[in-house]
Structure 1
Amino acid sequence: MKKYLPVCFLLMSLFSCTETSTKTSVTISPINNGKALQITGFDPAIINEISRDSSAKAWETLMAVYRMPADTSMRNLQPAQPGRYTVHNNIVVFTPDTAFSAQQTYFFRYYDFSAGGTLTDLIKSRSKPGTLHYTDLIFKQ
């Protein structure tokens, strides 16, 4: 067992040295009198890669808008709000197929595929490999 200790130490130090911080600062704001949602803060390389695919399903792998249910514990079961995603100068604009309701609360969920990607992240967060990390931003018209 003692002869494997230096190898384990070496592997742990390699994983911690290659760790990079890719913290994003994603923000949302309503535009066009509340008819669309402006999304900023994503890595331009990721946005440009996804914008090559015109289907909404490609966008929903990274981000999506949902109606907030009355029972907020059911938010993971909500279908994504259908709509169109467009990109201009690394800013994503989501325009729903059906206008946002004035009294309805919505949430914007974006996935951070880099979170939990290193061994150190998994140990610190006690996440399971393959677990998706996401953030919900709540908004109301």
Structure 2
Amino acid sequence: MSEPLLARLDPTKRVLKRAQYEAFEFSLFDGDVLVRNASHANPENHEYNVQIVDGVPEACECPADKKYAGPCKHRVAVAIRRPVLDAVEQMQMVADGGVITNEQPGTGVEDDATPDDCDCEMLDDDFPCWACVDSGRRELPN
């Protein structure tokens, strides 16, 4: 199993909090994500392209991503929103001429493997991470 995405990015607590509470808007753009921070008075002056490589927000055009060690809030904002990453992955796959499917080749059975960005080990035993809930691998407890 590969390392969970957030652990791989290793954001500071401050960056993680800002990525969660600021009002980000996302647009798919040439296989990457244009992130606009609508928390600002002039959001059009606060939008940056986040480059996605193999499902990981690798780089951002913002000044903070170049200036500081670790990921910026825009990269983390994309990373914690699995539907955005899924849409980028599908867009990149289609652009590369690939076929979108959730089935294992030749089996007709959906893949039940642990998602690459599974964070279950960081949570209580009875509580699954969003990636596992979203993929249908685990359900939320009652």
Q: What band does the TM-score fall into relative to the shorter chain?
A: under 0.3
Q: Which has the higher strand share?
A: 1
Q: TM-score, normalised by structure 1?
A: 0.24
Larger radius of gyration: 1
Q: Which has the higher helix share?
A: 2
